[in-house]
Amino acid sequence: MIVHPIDYRYGTKEMRRIWSEESKLKRMIWVEMALLKALAKAGYLSEEEALEAKKRAKAVSLKRVKEIEDEIKHDVMALVKALGEVTNCGWIHFGATSNDIIDTATATQLRDSLLIFEFKLKKLIDLLCKKAIEYKSVVCLGRTHGQAALPTTYGFRFALWAYEFARHYQRLQQLKDRVLIGKMSGAVGTQAAFGKDGFEIEKEVMRLLNLKPALISSQIVPRDGYCEYLEFLANLSTSLEKMATNFRILQRAEVGEVFEFFGEKQVGSSTMPHKRNPIESENICGLARVIRGFVEPQHQSAILWEERDLTNSSAERITLVEATILADHIITKAINVVSRIRLDLENIRKNLEAQKGLNLSEAVMIELARRGFDRQIAHEIVRKASMRAYANKTSLADELIKEDSLAKIFSKDELEKFLKPENYIGNAVERVERVVEWIRSVLNDTAH
């Protein structure tokens, strides 16, 4: 019986495959076989014996491992017994403790998951950069506190999001060194069973699995790496929710500037046939909150007694798996949303012009200061004119021209010029171009 929505609603096939029960078993077998090969290299058994055991290990089934676990109540020992049954090799698990196998197998899952996140982050960033360039000159109403502010451009907004995700891409590269580590060091980390061969055996196992050995560990690898990984996913999910929230705000009926793709046969409501809801963005926002909720239990799982206790084990079966699958789900959603997002240029212009110049009040104040007015006095003149424009539902130019002190300085035509949104976007276009150039250099550097 399927219970969890991850099994039928959330997550991509490629990420679920990495974290499936079958995948975990397969990866634990990889580690056991890498240990056998390293033991063979160190002279404990012949290379032929190790190779034969590896061939026979393919016959181990999840069903059989579960049968043994039901009987002995220990998951790793159940695997060891199942391997022993099919390989008839007495060196299986020699010198190892359970978390040598579990933590090292988990590192391979994290490695393969990060490759997927790396690929999808690059795809999302590339899409955002293309939107930034495409819309770099599309002037729109900026908003602060949900109220009209200075003009900006839609390209500027996309560039800002792209810049944020590019920094996540950098974080991903940086955390690999601290997260993709395994161990083969025994019950308390001292490699007592391996003696003088310990360093070389551990090094060889990790080489075979394309991982780094922990420089030092207890019975488990230090959990700060897992905490950092979960923090990365939480941080990434926050940026995804931030972008999705803005898409939702900008799709509101009274704004109507940005729209998610809506299929020809798509249904928005079971009772209101007209609805076109931003459901993809809402899905991103909802699941991002779940992902961030895993950070605290993972931090608690790093606080263990002496060389370790078992309180981390049950929590990590949930935190790492669900956070990874859900984060992959929402970044995939975000790629889909951004790739098919639609801007209503007519509404963007209409919302901008509906302000009747009020959102350009700073432009007039700055010009007055340039022409000799005290900046604070200029601010007060424009503020009062703005309040009258709100009250009278007139344009800012209409109210400003009534000021005797300004009528001598500005003609109404000049005022209208200062109150044109296109004339007050600063270096927005150039900044977009610069940030996109920087982002592409970042992606190219890491690719090499």
CA distance 361 to 209: 62
Per the annotation, the verdict on 270 as an active-site residue is no
- Among candidate residues 46, 61, 269, 441, the one labeled active-site is 269
Catalytic entry in 145, 270, 274, 448: 145
* Strand duo 258-259 + 342-343: pairing: antiparallel
Catalytic residue flag (residue 145):
yes
Burial of residue 246 (CB within 10 Å: 0-12, 13-18, 19+) is: middle
Please give the structure tokens belonging to residue 196.
């003088």
Residues acting as catalytic residues: 145, 269
